Amino acid sequence: MAKTKILYITHEMSPFLELTEISKITRQLPQAIQEKGYEIRVLMPRFGNINERRNRLHEVIRLSGMNIVINDNDNPLIIKVASIQGAKMQVYFLDNEEYFQRKYVFRNDKDVFFEDNDERTIFFCKGALETVKKLGWSPDIVHCHGWMSSLVPAYLKTSYKNDPTFKNSKVIYSVYDNGFDEKLHADFAKKLTMSGLSEKEVEIYQNGDCASLHMGAVAFADGVTKGAEAIDTKVDEFISKINKPVLNYTNFEETDTFAQFYEEVLNEELVSA
C-alpha cells in the first residue's frame, strides 16, 4: 500500500528561521509524522537571514528556472534544498533575489511592514505549488502553516483544482495567534485576480488584513487546525460556522491526534469552498 503523502508549507522552521512557535511545530511535526510511516516534504521561503553556508543549502538545478508572474512581471524562482541531520528530512527553499534577499523578514530595520509583502505572499504560495508540480510528487494532504501560506487553499480549489498533481489533494490550514496589524498593499485583490483567481474568489481576502487572510484560507480549506489556545475572535467565530473538520488547539507533540485528523480529512467528502 502506498504511503500517504503530506506536504508542509510554512514561512518558518527551526533551525533555519525561528520567529514564533510555528518554527518548532513545523520542525517536529513533519518528522514525527514521517516516523509514523507517512511520506513528507517541507517547503519554505529562503529569507535573506537564513545562512546558506551554515545550513548547507544548495541549489536544485532541475527545479530552478521557473518564473512566477505577478502584476504582469516575471519573477525568477530558484529552488534550494537542505537536509536536517539525523532526521532524514529534506527542506526545499523558494528563493528570489527581489523578494527574499533582505536582512529582515517582514519588516525593515525601522520596524516598517514591507510594502510588497502582498507580492511576496503570492510569489511564495504559487511558487510552492509550481515546485511540487516540478517535483512530480502528488500530495494527499497539503498542510499550510501561518498567514504567508494562506493563499494556497484558494489556489488549490480554483486555478489548480484540475491539475493532475493536486486534483486529489486535500488542504488543511493552521491558524495561529500571530500575524501583523497592518494591511497588505491596496492592490492586493487586483493582483490576486491577475494571478488566476476570479473577483468573487478574492472577495474574502479583499480587506488585506491578517484576519481576512486566515478566513480566506479557512473558507477554501478541507480542514482547519487551531495552532494556539486563543486566536483572533473574528476568525474563531468564522471557524465555528463552517461545516468541515476542525482540530481545536492541540499540543503539537501529540502527533497521534494530528495523524488521526489527517485521516479524517482524507476520508471526508470533498467540501467546496
Q: How confident is the model at residue 272 (pLDDT cuts 50, 70, 90)?
A: very low
Tell me which residue has cell 516540478.
134
With CA atoms as reference, report the closest residue to 100 among 75, 83, 81: 75
CA atoms within 13 A on the CB side of 252: 20
Q: Is the peptide bond before 30 cis (omega within 30 degrees of 0)?
A: no
What pLDDT does residue 92 have?
Answer: 97
Of the candidates 174, 158, 265, the residue with the CA atom closest to the CA atom of residue 222: 265
The mean pLDDT of 129-135, rounded to a whole number, is 96
pLDDT at 1: 58
Domain positions in the chain are 5-267
Q: 196 falls in which pLDDT band (50, 70, 90)?
A: confident
Q: What are phi and psi of 23, to 5 degrees?
A: -65, -35
Note the pTM of the prediction, 2 decimals. 0.95
pLDDT tens string 49-84: 998 888 899 999 889 889 999 988 899 999 999 998
Q: How far apart are CA 28 and CA 70, in angstroms?
A: 33
d(CA 27, CA 22): 8
CB 80 within 8 A of CB 92: yes
The fold adopted by the segment(s) 5-267 is Rossmann fold (3.40.50)
Q: pLDDT tens for residues 94-108?
A: 999 999 999 999 999
CA distance 21 to 233: 20
In 3D space, the residue among 112, 116, 111 whose CA is nearest the CA of residue 100 turns out to be 116
Is the pLDDT confidence value at 171 over 90?
A: yes
Mean pLDDT of the chain: 93
**Average pLDDT of span 18-39:** 94
Residue 258 has pLDDT above 50, yes or no: yes
Q: Torsions phi, psi of 123, nearest 5?
A: -60, -45
